[in-house]
Amino acid sequence: MARIELDLAHAYAPNPKQDSDYALLPLKMTFEDGGAYALLGPSGCGKTTLLNIMSGLLMPSQGSVQFDGVDVTRASPQVRNIAQVFQFPVIYDTMTVAENLGFPLRNRQVPKEQIHKRVGEIAEMLEMSGQLNQLAANLSADQKQKISLGRGLVRPDVSAVLFDEPLTVIDPLLKWQLRRKIKQIHHELKLTMIYVTHDQVEALTFAEQVVVMTRGRAVQVGSAAELFERPRHTFVGNFIGSPGMNFLQGSVRSEGLQVADTVLPWLSGQSLPPGEVKLGIRPEYVALVAAQTPGALPMQVAQVQDVGTHVMLTARFAGQTVKARLSSDAARMAQGDTVWLQVLGAHSCFYQNEEIVA
């Protein structure tokens, strides 16, 4: 298993000038050996480009890739000894499951019985021992993805397993089981695993550390809690959590934060640089409070949605919208009512030109 260090950038054109020329802006990052990482971001944010640079399918236009201190920037995927599971199942149609799994070892001239034993072990781990002699082409999409994964795990010395949105074509009901299987395998084999996806549920479930990316830049690397509690960038605040973080435009006053014509008193010990600021508060932390409570704003109810497990309130204040997640039995309210919602609290974050300041 390998410790992967990246210090690189990747540009479309030979001599990039401004940010838009870069598929991947300069980044420096380390993936610890045995760690479970996720590259999370919308389509076209550069996450797959980064994965292909790590797997060796793509050479970065500048910088280096190191596996356990060895420079592999120019090395092929085979030399880097990585495994990759693609968006759609990639298997050898004319082979049986066992032949598919044993194929990498056969290419390395590993003796037959050793292949047989190793394939048996991995099939056991993937709960596919029953289908070993079936033709791989006739299996379901999720079983085929397990075979793809198995082709990597069969190699005892595989350096890292890379996933490129592996659940895209899987039936929604089965996604849950395949996700759990990958997590169990990571727990058992302690392999370095890097998972690319646009779906925050998959990223936050699978990975210990999540790299949130947008427009070729890694805006924040952190655990699910850090991304949820202290998003370092407004993009991360909005991207993580469903619905994402509310942002209220305001300006800093000595006695408190002025939003439109109301001033919210600071909490004790809070101090902020002067000027325009965005107050970030997650719908989960917006609380329904009594009138005139400090840190709360009188808001007009725009929409109340019964989302089964909870109620999603959409309220407006001076042209700005705030969503609040209230428990099902919260006080009944109708469109147009005025409710007091606490927005300034322990869980609030403050942003100036999109970066967190407090």
Partner 1 sequence: MHLTLEGIDKMVGSQTWLYPMSLQPCSGAVTVLLGATQAGKTSLMRIMAGLDVPSHGAVQVNGHSVVGVPVRKRNVAMVYQQFINYPSFTVRDNIASPLKLGGEKNVVQRVNALAEKLHIEMFLDRYPAELSGGQQQRVALARALAKGAPLMLLDEPLVNLDYKLREELRDELSALFAEGNSTVIYATTEPGEALLLGGYTAVLDQGELLQYGPTAEVFHKPQSLRVARAFSDPPMNLLAADAVASGVQLEGGPLLAVHLPETASRKLTVGVRASALHVTAQEGDVVLPGKVELAEISGSDTFVHVATLVGEVVAQLTGVHYFELGAQVTLYLNPAQAYVFDDQGLLLLAPVRGGGR
Partner 2 sequence: MSTTIKPVNQKAWFLILPVLICVAFSAIVPLMTVVNYSVQDIISPERRVFVGTEWFAAIMRDEELHSALLRQLTFSLSVLAVELPLGILLALSMPAQGWKASAVLVIVSLSLLIPWNVVGTIWQIFGRTDIGLMGAALQGLGIDYSYTGNATHAWLTVLLMDVWHWTPLVGLLGYAGLRSIPDAYYQAASIDGASKFAVFRYVQLPKMRGVLMIAVLLRFMDSFMIYTEPFVLTGGGPGNSTTFLSQFLTIKAVGQFDIGPAAAFSLIYFLIILLLCFILYNWMQRVGTQDKEGGHE
Q: For partner 2, which stretch binds (CB under 8 A), given 70-78, 236-244, 266-274, 298-306?
A: 70-78
Q: Give the residues across from 341 on adjacent strands.
A: 288, 297
110 binds partner 2 per the rule CB under 8 A: no
Tell me the per-residue interface mask from 9 to 48 with partner 2, x by CB under 8 A, - otherwise.
----------------------------------------
Please identify which residue in 106, 117, 180, 190 interacts with partner 1, judged by CB under 8 A. 180
**What whole-number distance in Å separates Cα of residue 257 and Cα of residue 263?**
5
Amino acid at 227: L
Name which of 128 and 240 has its Cβ closer to partner 1.
240
Q: Is 70 within 8 Å of 225 (Cβ atoms)?
A: no
SS3 label, residue 286 = coil
Name which of 67 and 235 has its Cβ closer to partner 1.
235
SS3 label, residue 46 = coil
- List CB contacts of 130: < 8 A, sequence separation 6 or more: none
78 binds partner 2 per the rule CB under 8 A: yes
48 binds partner 1 per the rule CB under 8 A: no
Report the alpha-carbon angle 50-192-81, nearest 5. Answer: 75
51 binds partner 2 per the rule CB under 8 A: no
Q: For partner 2, which stretch binds (CB under 8 A), given 59-67, 85-93, 278-286, 294-302?
A: 85-93
Q: The tokens of 175 are what?
A: 């996604």
Q: How many positions of this chain bind partner 1 (CB under 8 A)?
A: 42
Among positions 6-45, residues that touch partner 1 (CB under 8 A) are 42-44
First-to-last C-alpha distance (Å) of the chain? 39
Residue with tokens 């999370």: 40
Which parts of this chain interact with partner 2 (CB under 8 A)?
55, 57, 76-78, 82-84, 86-90, 92-95, 103-104, 107-108, 137-138, 148, 151-152, 169
